């Protein structure tokens, strides 16, 4: 499978330097692709291209793909300035490749999170224009009625001049003492920051607990919070099938 990615990203993933430092190496003539010096940013390379930095070939990582059942209270980041635990801590000393999360889950949101070193697939799965499906279970304050749910199905105003896209929504059940909370399943096709929370705030039923149960067809199945597994070959194939015509 041939996967094109930006030269500076491939170099960074190979551990040459930071993305910005790799861009400087390219612009100053230190990098060759298939024997020719490249000084233009944005050049795409694939797995068959030979990349050299100061005449030394870089070591390319094979693509790897994982799914983590992200616990609540964990940062979705490669590292955190406040030295809080991140999702990569679960993979430390167990996965040698330089992986990173595909998209984000809020600090207090749990559930399905993909991680990979495949920049091409990461781009395809996270770019808004590709409208990848994401399904959440939200425990909300109060019980939304059908009028509330219809507003979510049509899209609600989140901020000035910003409206959510239509969502697939259903009330699963009433929970809590005296049925004071509701469980809602929402499937979205976009991924604005804190979008689910903003949508439910907009209809007057703020989120008490939020979990993503499906991302691009991938689920956590029997994984406990903090557990992860490699994606199956079939799952990887299905992801590329999902995005190939987008």
Q: Do residues 184 and 137 make contact, with C-beta atoms less than 8 angstroms apart?
A: yes
Residues identified as active-site: 106
What tokens were used for 185?
């399943």
> Nearest-CA neighbor of 17 among 5, 3, 4, 31?
31
Could you tell me the CA-to-CA distances from 25 to 4, 16, 28, 30, 133 in Å, in that order?
A: 20, 10, 5, 5, 38
Task: Please tell me the distance from the alpha carbon of residue 39 to that of residue 26, in angstroms, as a whole number.
Answer: 5
Q: Where are the alpha helices (DSSP H) in 36-138?
A: 119-126
- For 182-219, b/e burial (b = at least 16 CB within 10 A) is bbbbbebebbeeebbbbbbbbbebebeebbbebbbebb
Residues sharing a CB contact under 8 Å with residue 95, sequence separation 6 or more, in sequence order: 64, 66
């Amino acid at each position: 499978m041939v996967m094109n990615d930006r030269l500076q990203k491939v170099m960074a993933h190979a551990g040459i330097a930071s993305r910005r430092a790799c861009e400087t190496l390219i612009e100053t003539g230190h990098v060759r692709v298939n024997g020719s010096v490249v000084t233009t940013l944005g050049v795409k390379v694939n797995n068959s291209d030979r990349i050299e930095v100061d005449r030394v070939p870089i070591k390319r990582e094979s693509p790897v793909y994982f799914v983590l059942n992200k616990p609540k209270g964990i940062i979705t980041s490669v590292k955190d300035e406040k030295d809080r635990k991140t999702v990569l801590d679960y993979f430390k000393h167990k996965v040698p490749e330089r992986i990173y999360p595909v998209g984000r889950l809020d600090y207090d949101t749990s559930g399905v999170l993909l991680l990979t070193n495949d920049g091409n697939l990461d781009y395809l799965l996270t770019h808004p224009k590709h409208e990848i499906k994401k399904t959440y279970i939200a425990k909300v304050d109060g019980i939304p009625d059908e009028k509330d749910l219809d507003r979510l199905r049509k899209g609600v105003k989140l901020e000035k001049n910003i409206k959510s896209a239509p969502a697939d929504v259903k009330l699963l059940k009433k929970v809590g003492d005296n049925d004071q909370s509701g469980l809602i399943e929402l499937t979205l096709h976009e991924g604005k920051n804190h979008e689910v929370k903003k949508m439910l705030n907009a209809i007057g039923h703020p989120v008490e607990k939020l979990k993503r149960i499906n991302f691009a067809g991938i689920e956590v199945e029997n994984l406990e919070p903090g557990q992860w597994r490699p994606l199956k070959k079939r799952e990887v194939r299905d992801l590329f099938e999902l995005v190939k015509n987008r």
